[in-house]
Homo-oligomer: A and B are copies of this chain.
């Protein structure tokens, strides 16, 4: 059914149908009701392509998830040996974006990017005018040029879990976890439990999140008058293996720490293995705090005390701001951090 058909059925012009649907002012209540009743009755819905072509917004955004293979804690194989995305952020982010967009009457196209080649396909989504804007997840510095070009073309862009540094003039929406606060909470927890000799396994320090987590760690330590000896810092790379190595390295130190802050849960898994191999037990011999509150954290033995950053909250906020920005027709640079909270489980002991 076309608007014209519906119009004839109730004796108005199709302009009137459009006006009612799009909530134009100056339409008598009676007309409004007549039209809406007919819309319901005949289950009429305006053709999305026709609307968009005629100049209306199509209420479509994309969620673009950048390849996070290297960060994924576990790999599953599909039949043709491509990795599937098993990053713990994936499900909550997709879910929250979809739910929030839906709530605001928007539709979302999903796109997962594994390569430069794939980025071209994403570009074509914009070029074909399929969407008004997009949320990018996990971009690195390298993608900035691509993204800023899109913004210049008038598209609205939100970025979450970006490791690229924010630049005000580019007018993107940046929503990130408060990594600094998260580390601070981890350290404060340990200090409250009486720990004074605390080590750290960092993430890849070319990533913003790893840097912020390290900063929060160091500054909270020094704020509390505690020292950090060089051989209690191990630079990991967010992988399970580097967590394992980190423990082996730190436990070689002359003066062993009583607690270790590990910059993500994936590395904590490796750390647990190394600690078990050394014949030590958590938390009796060593207290551990992780970061991310990944889905496996409660299933480790002992359950891992860790920092929760709600990726659902981040994604939801990004979606809201993106859609606001689309409706407002103007993009203003926005930077927000989402709170981190400590999830207290069984991997720390009072000393």
Interface residues of A (CB under 8 A from B): 43-53, 58, 60, 63, 74, 76, 78-79, 82, 84-86, 90-92, 94-96, 98-99, 102, 107-112, 118, 121, 124-125, 127-130, 295-296, 299-301, 310, 312-313, 316
Contact = CB atoms under 8 A, between A and B. Distances in A.
B112 A78 contact: no
Contacts of A316: 78-79
Given A49-B129, A53-B47, A92 B99 contact: no
A121 B79 CA distance: 34
A69 to B, nearest CB: 11
A108 B107 contact: no
Nearest to A48: B128
A50 B51 CA distance: 10
A148 to B, nearest CB: 16
B130 A107 contact: yes
A110 B112 contact: no
11 contacts: A45-B124, A45-B128, A60-B109, A79-B316, A84-B99, A94-B94, A98-B111, A109-B110, A296-B296, A299-B300, A301-B301
A292 to B, nearest CB: 13
- What's the dominant secondary structure at chain A's contact region? mixed
A58 B49 CA distance: 10
A125 B45 CA distance: 9
A112 B107 contact: no
**Copies of the protein in its oligomer:** 2
Contacts of A296: 295-296, 299
Given A78-B313, A79-B316, A130 B295 contact: no
Given A295-B295, A301-B301, 5 more contacts: A49-B49, A74-B295, A76-B310, A94-B94, A299-B300
Which 3 A/B pairs are nearest by Cβ-Cβ distance?
A45-B127, A49-B52, A49-B49
A318 to B, nearest CB: 13
A74 B310 CA distance: 15
Nearest to A50: B53
Contacts of A45: 124, 127-128
B43 A127 contact: yes
Contacts of A85: 91, 95
Contacts of A52: 49
B92 A110 contact: no
Nearest to A83: B95
Contacts of A76: 92, 310, 312
> Which of A79, A91, A96, A316 has most chain B Cβ within 10 Å?
A91
A90 B95 contact: yes
A47 B92 CA distance: 32
A130 to B, nearest CB: 5
Contacts of A98: 110-112
A213 to B, nearest CB: 22
A310 B121 CA distance: 27
A278 B312 CA distance: 38
A315 B99 CA distance: 21
B107 A125 contact: yes
> Which of A60, A110, A118, A124 has most chain B Cβ within 10 Å?
A110
Contact of A53 (B53, B107, B109): B53
